[in-house]
A and B are shown apart, each in its own frame.
Chain A
Amino acid sequence: MKKLLAATLGILSAVGGFVDIGDLVAAGQAGARFGMAHTWVLLLGVVAICAYADMAGRIAAITGRAVFDLIRERLGARVALVNLAASYLVTVITLSAELGGVALALRLATGVPYLLWVPLAGAAVWLVLWRMRFPLMERVFGLAGLALVIFAVALFWLPTDWAALGRSAVAPSEAGQGWGAYWFIAVALFASTVSPYEIFFFSSGGVEERWSPADLADARFSVLVGFPIGGFLALSLIATAAVVLRPAGLSVESLDEVAQPVVLAFGAVGLAVAALAFFAVTFGAALETGLSAAYAAAQYFGWQWGKRVSPREAARFHTVLLVSVLLGVLLLFTTVDPVALTEYMLIISAVALPLTYLPILIVANDRTYLGDRVNGRALNLLGAVLLLVILAASIAAVPLAIGTRMGQ
Chain B
Amino acid sequence: MLDFSGLELNTSEPVYLQIVGYVKRQIFTGAAEQGNPLPSRRELAAMLKINPNTVQKAVRLMEEEGFVTTPKNSVSILQWSSSVFSEIQKEMTAGFAADFVKHAKENGLTLEEVIHLLRQEWEKGEY
A, B bound: no
